[in-house]
Structure 1
Amino acid sequence: MDLNLRHAVMHNVANNTKEQLEDTIMDAIQRGEEKYLPGLGVLFEAIWNHSSPEQKNDMLVTLEQAVKQ
């Protein structure tokens, strides 16, 4: 089976509103199931690829702080 996970995830959320995207993310986090991690990774990749250098720096600062906790 030739499954393109990136394409599938992006296709599934392509027409979602901001609120629906938030619900998707929050649901995946709250469930805490590892099967949702690849999808969250795809969404993070999309955020990263569409962020300015300043936004990327802010995310890295936040991530650095979060992983130290």
Structure 2
Amino acid sequence: MDLKKHADISGDIRRAADMALGMGAALNEINRGPVFDHERDKNVDKIDAWFCAIGKALGYSVVKYQDAA
């Protein structure tokens, strides 16, 4: 077993889990009830950034979706 590689991968997974907690908090804030549009947009931007960061931390190729509208 390559312990250095295992430690690096474990660290990536821990960082992704921490980011998922932040993303969950922002989603809960949006779903909790009425918020100002600028607050909602700020949380949406945070969620988008965390989602991309989690994918990259876990080794996925992340492509940001752009709404056609």
Q: Is the structural similarity TM-score above 0.5?
A: no
Q: Which of 1 and 2 has greater Rg? A: 2
TM-score w.r.t. length of structure 2: 0.37
| Structure (1 or 2) with the greater helix fraction | 1
Q: Structure with the greater relative contact order (CA < 8 A, sep ≥ 6): 1 or 2?
A: 2
